[in-house]
Amino acid sequence: MFNNTFEPFYNRNPLALLLWRENFNAEQTEPVSVDTAFSVSHRSFRSGLCELLSAGTLSGMFLLLLALFLTGCSCQRQGQSGLPLTSQHTQSGDARSQKESFDRSIELINRLDDSPSLPNTPGFEKLVGVADQLNKWIQNQKPDDTWQPDPAFQDVEQAASTAAETVKGVVRSLALLQGETVLDDAGQPIAASESLHAERQAVTAGLEQFSDQLQSLASIAYLPTMSRFSHAISELQRRFASLENIRSLDAADIRAFAKGLENEAEVLSVSAAMLDAYAAQLKTDGLFITTSDVEYLKQSAWMRDISQWTCGDKRVLLDQAVQMGDWVVCNIETRSSWIPIAQQQSIEVLPQHPWQTILLGYGTISDRMTVFMELLRQRRIDSALLAVPNPSEPATLIYWAVGVLLDGEVYVFSLNFGFPIPGAEGVQVGDDGSLQFSDVATLSQLMQDDSLLRRLDLSEEQKFPITAEMLQQTTAHLFLMPETVSMRMKVLEAELSGEQNMVLYTNPHELRRRFLTAPGITGVEFWKYPLRTAFEQRFDPEPTNEALSIFLVQRPRLNLDDSALRRHYPLWSGRVLYFKGAISGQDNAITKYQNTRVSDKEMIEYRNDPVFRATPAASLELQWITIQASYWLGAALFETDSLAAAKENLMGIRTNRLNSWQSQTEYLLGRIAEREKRYDDARRHYGTTASSLSGAGNLLRAQWLPAP
């Protein structure tokens, strides 16, 4: 029924992979129909989409694109899109009632931590409630006259809106060709020409223009999906243009041709709605709160809390940056940006919002860097990606590090290698036995002294890919989300006080100006990654939601029918408490993780339960949850310096087939060995990760450890 081209899509979820292997014959290679692709899962669907796009099958391509866009529109109806869910509020009231409304909103935001806020869950309804409550308050606030829009978002918003209007015109002309009734803005029927040639020419010209606009949008917002869709539109345009070569073409021929394009017409209609929704998502002016805004508020609160307890009593901002960078490296595993399918084909992994990355504990190197920069933002520390031209492909850039701007200098952090670039003093060994990066190299120093970069060479054959000469053309790329530069977030942040305080707004013009004057920076641009994240998570949310669904699992209680127990999500609670720094104490993350795990004895009891036995996947699911909880328990214990307990938990899952954290498990075991001054063991653990994406940095760390 299914062929093995779908298997790699389950690599991000070992539970799904094993269920797939056990329930379907991976050796069968019969062709996969569109209907079959839909029945597997959304990830399988994306595999089929990639195959059809590569093959250039127009009809199949349109069907799959239609399904993709309809998925996004379905999410819009549920509120996932981040579009307004509530009606406009024109309520007026005195300052006291407005303050009460705002305080109530903040209270509701804090309650979002009680349960997962994924679509179709009670937690998501709370998300909607917060948006509604905040809108009651913000609609009574005055616009901030000092706020200025950022041109980068304006350009993309305008490009999406313009493309939407173009395709709406195409849809109207195509409907006339198909003999449908089309109304003008006044609600009056539009009469088609007798020969239909004018309408046919309008469709041909409109499709050509729409294809060009999609290609432009794909470029300025880095949207590969739009580029592929543009090629499909171009082929449809060529089909219309080819009608010019048919002699004695009459209206009946044109109408028959148009009627055969019902699927394409539907895709064009949906794409217009999609582009309008994307443009609305990028709006930064106005005072209206969306569900995406509430997720951003939740993300900011988590980042604020993490940055506070991670930095502790450190007062030097550079020391804070080093500490937060190390937290990211220890808590976010870097995974590949590409997933292989078959026949040497791969598809790109969807980008994630920072809150999704810290919750899951993994992401691409880009996701890892966004988390670091969001933590820095909460400490009001400026940062940007550092990029240099790729010597082998000068038209492309290498985003190689994060630059942290402090006291007029850009300090360089390699999130891929897992540490800041050491300065002239090199790496030191601290009193606790672990490596210390107290001297961080600046961009100016690296530009002037290539030997600092050559310390990062593993060998003559494995050299660090950046040189001092390449750094002479360094550009800074700002990580800014639509919410971060919006007027509504500036107004919201101004209202926060005391423990509520968090950074919501960043002035993009001032940030750009500060980096332009920084030594070594030749130019400042806007990083396109957030634009793509907004699009992909809006219209293709299922892969990420599928990964996040692990937090919806509630551990079953045998012989109990207590509905209250079933409303608890221990794994979710453990993660949220960890973000808050409640790792130990009365209500803590460690206890939640421990309560999530299932012992071998309990597993035997579960397997003897008739209800449990009736669910074949239940045993596997509990094993998978236990592995997840054990990994995060080990990481939490490491943060509290409970090294023996952390080692015991991580060693217990080290070779388990369900452990998707193999390289990160080895890395944490290496860090534990460092602190215990078992340097040979640390080197062995780091060496095990040599083939991972962070392997080069881990091997360097092993080299820098004290000799036996």
**Same domain membership, residue 562 and residue 531:** no
Q: Which structure tokens are listed for 458?
A: 């593993």
User: 304 and 418, same structural domain?
Assistant: yes
SS3 84: coil
Name 654's Cβ contacts closer than 8 Å, sequence gap at least 6: 662, 665, 666, 669
Residue 308 to residues 134, 150, 151, 376, 564, Cα–Cα distance (Å): 26, 29, 33, 11, 33
CA atoms within 13 A on the CB side of 667: 30
Residue pair 268/170 in contact by the 8 Å Cβ criterion = yes
Q: In DSSP terms, which residues pair with 476 in a beta bridge?
A: 386, 524
Q: How far are the Cα atoms of 117, 293, 392, 536 from residue 296, in angstroms, in the given order?
A: 13, 5, 38, 16
Tell me, yes or no, whether 460 and 557 share the same domain. no
Q: What is the DSSP string of 248-289?
A: T--HHHHHHHHHTTHHHHHHHHHHHHHHHHHHHHT--SS---
Q: Which of 491, 522, 539 is the last residue of a domain?
A: 539
- Any domain includes 18: yes
Q: Does residue 158 have a pLDDT over 90?
A: yes
The answer to whether residue 280 is domain-embedded is no
Residue range 162-219, pLDDT digits in tens: 999 999 999 999 999 998 888 877 778 888 887 788 888 999 999 999 999 999 999 9
Tell me what the pLDDT averaged over the chain comes to.
Answer: 85
Is the pLDDT at 9 greater than 60? The verdict is: no
- The answer to whether 569 touches 116, Cβ cutoff 8 Å, is yes
Q: Which domain holds residue 15?
A: 1-61
Residues 628 and 560 occupy one common structural domain: yes
Residue 535 and residue 563 in one domain: no
- 431 and 335, same structural domain? yes
Structure confidence at residue 558 (pLDDT): 47
- Do 484 and 572 share a domain, yes or no? no
CATH code at 642? 1.25.40.10
Domain assignment present for 469: yes
Question: Number of folded domains in the chain?
Answer: 3
Whether residue 82 lies inside any domain: the answer is no
508 & 554 share domain: no
Residue 15 included in any domain: yes
Last residue of a domain, one of 518, 539, 560: 539
Q: What phi and psi, each to the nearest 5 degrees, are found at residue 72?
A: -65, -40
**Alpha carbon distance 159, 169 (integer Å):** 16
Co-location of 429 and 558 in the same domain = no
- Residue 259 within a domain: no
Query: Could you tell me if 688 and 649 lie in one domain?
Result: yes
Q: What are the distances in angstroms from CA 434 to CA 235, 277, 305, 441, 671?
A: 60, 50, 25, 19, 7
pLDDT digits (tens, 9 = 90+) for 588-618: 999 999 988 988 888 888 778 777 777 767 7
Residue 10 to residues 394, 421, 540: CA-CA distances in angstroms? 35, 35, 16
Q: List the structure tokens of 233.
A: 């539109």
For residues 463 and 517, membership in a common domain is answered with yes
In this prediction, residues 337-366 reach a mean pLDDT of: 89
The whole-number average pLDDT for the span 369-379 is 98
Which of 23, 41, 61 delimits the end of a domain? 61
91 domain residue, yes or no: no
Residue 286 token pair: 């106005």
In this prediction, residue 555 carries a pLDDT of: 65
- Does residue 393 lie within any of the structural domains? yes
- Three-class secondary structure of residue 525 per DSSP: strand
Using one digit for the tens of pLDDT, what is the confidence trace for 47-92? 444 444 444 444 555 555 555 555 554 444 444 444 444 444 444 4
Shared-domain flag, residues 528 and 550: no
Distance CA 114, CA 116 (A): 7
